[in-house]
Structure 1
């Protein structure tokens, strides 16, 4: 029997384990693919308070090492579901079952990809899914943002403060995001809208060098010389298997308040998988701490 069962081995999940173990609770992290989450693909992390610079993989491995030294158990299995048996919550995996007094869902999200040639190969070498995380590495250089929602608009505005030129590429003729941001971007000399256009290919040997794009109206194909491309075409939560136990919003994110409590007593949600405005490394760590302490309180009561 575990006190806290944590589903997901990213920053939120591992932070929850650290706080749970330090509170005297026995925790287990169950991860289906890779411990560390998406941050492991970032070559440099420079926006985490107190750490000037660290690779994403080193940051993640330090977290995992800290959690394990405190006594956290780790399991590499795919979770297939959860069920409530009153005082006991059971995590079901492809291998076995794990009875727990409480559960923290920290499944994160996956970024929707464009699916174009070289996107995967150059991820972390000019291809990024987080302008706030990686934008500073492109100071004074030309970059592109792909997307038409508020996230893409916000990314373009953020990057325009540091980059020489920002191309904002969208497949339609108008943006879906906030009109107020569109108007601000229109007033920036270093931002260029590239509408009715899709990315066909990302070019580069060891890092991004240019994009091949296609104008859907004219059929014209041409190149954009850029050092980085920030893809903001949506995030995909992975919470379907929990839909019968906890409430999800219309986009599939777990409905949870700032105290990380879900609609189901004893089950908490931490990190990018829950409803929230800001999804950053710092907010994932904060959620992990809050969820663990809330789980400890639940167990005590």
Structure 2
């Protein structure tokens, strides 16, 4: 494993909206900054069709906003590298960030690894992933022109992406385990008014069926126990999120579910390690909240690094 010579002031793990904002603030404060990302910069922005609730834009496509943020994150000299982080080793003067082939040293770390979609865990879900099963309407919606799609879930993502899919599909059926949606009212109203959107209430998916690709979804009514089959060529799953924090759990900074706990300055219980965005334990996970987290962390990192350097210099002086 290669030890990278450059010692960074801060390494931002994850290039979602929060991570890119933290890198912007840190590098603008003249900190030696590195962004490590294991995928495409932008995180969940790349899986979002249209964003209407981010200040400054009446409406903007998720991938377009990701591009603008990535350009902004690098404008003050932040480095960027591909890296799938396997673990973090805590130290006072330097912390180590281990990827599969490199070890990076840094004074501070901002964790911005986000969250991923929960899986139903039913038969056929994994088998037909990429062959009718999807978790990204923007990525795969165009493959379902003039077809029938089912969307599983009842929150913002399920309703918003279900409505988005009507521009391709002839019909979208939203399957929800309760008898009312959890999505914002404006999103509900749009879905209810859309003639291409139907709803099946009080039902859960038991199996995703098909041969070479998805052909139907078998569902169960949770109140009556009745089993039925819904013919469909696609199944889009939006039932919640799981934190991408497995590689940090040994540090003792997560709750039982894996969400990273922080204070109002985005500090974890380990000095010099911060967490922001969707991986953080927070009541709201939106682009705007991730950006707010990132700005707070970027400022807090600067203060931490300055205080650390001063403390180490004082100790060195006292030794001599």
* Counterpart-to-counterpart distance in 2, 1:196 and 1:21: 47
The CA distance in 2 between the partners of 1:222 and 1:240, in whole Å, is 36
Q: Which residue of structure 1 lines up, in the alignment, with residue 281 of structure 2?
A: 275
Counterparts of residues 50-65 of structure 1 (less than 5 Å):
50-65=56-71
Residues 1:295 and 2:309 aligned together: no
Matched, 1:72 2:78: yes
Q: CA deviation at 1:249?
A: 0.8
1:30-41 equivalences in 2 (<5 Å): 30-41=36-47
Quote how far apart the aligned CAs of 1:275 are.
Answer: 0.3
8 Å CA contact retained: 2:95, 2:108: yes
RMSD over equivalenced CA pairs, Å? 3.5
Task: Give the aligned partner of residue 163 of structure 1.
Answer: 191
- The offset of 1:195, in angstroms, is 2.7
d(CA) in 2 for partners of 1:145, 1:219: 14
Given candidates 119, 134, 142, the residue that maps to 2:133 is 119
- Structure 2: how far apart are the matches of 1:282 and 1:122? 20
Equivalents in 1 of 2:209, 2:289: separation in Å?
A: 33
The CA distance in 2 between the partners of 1:27 and 1:17, in whole Å, is 7
Provide the C-alpha distance between the structure 1 equivalents of 2:238 and 2:298, rounded to a whole number of angstroms: 31
Shift of 1:123: 2.3
Conservation of the 8 A alpha-carbon contact between 1:144 and 1:229: no
Cα 1:229–1:165 change in 2 (3 A) is: farther
Whether 1:27 aligns to 2:33 is yes
Match of 1:248 in 2: 254
Question: Between Structure 1 and Structure 2, whose CA radius of gyration is higher?
Answer: 2
Question: What's the offset of the Cα at 1:144?
Answer: 1.2
1:214 to 2:219 alignment: yes
Aligned length: 269
* Aligned partner (choices 126, 130, 142) of residue 157 of structure 2: 130
CA distance in 2, matches of 1:29, 1:159: 34
Contact 1:7–1:30 (CA under 8 A) maintained in structure 2: yes
Shift of 1:246: 3.7
SS class of match (1:164)? helix
Distance 1:121 1:104, change over 3 A: closer
Indicate conservation of the 8 Å contact 1:20/1:296, yes or no: yes
Q: Deviations over 1:99-118 (max 9, x none)?
A: 11110000100011442551
Q: Unpaired segments of 5 or more residues in structure 2?
A: 1-6, 142-148, 308-320
Structure 1 residues without counterparts, runs of 5 or longer: 167-189, 203-209
Do the aligned partners of 1:91 and 1:97 also contact (CA within 8 Å) in 2?
A: yes
Deviation at 1:148, TM superposition (A): 5.7
Displacement of 1:211 in angstroms is 6.8
**Counterpart check, 1:200 vs 2:208:** yes
- Secondary structure of the residue aligned to 2:69 is helix
Map 1:162-201 to 2 at 5 A: 162-164=190-192, 193-195=201-203, 197-198=205-206, 200=208
**How is 1:94-109 mapped onto 2 (pairs within 5 angstroms)?**
94-109=100-115
- Alignment deviations for residues 60-84 of structure 1 (CA, whole Å, 9 cap, x no partner): 1111112222211011021111112
1:84 aligned partner = 90
Q: 1:285 is matched with which residue?
A: 291
Give the Cα separation in 1 of the matches to 2:134 and 2:165.
19
Structure 2 residue matching 1:154: 3-state secondary structure: coil
Query: In the alignment, what sits opposite 1:154?
Result: 182
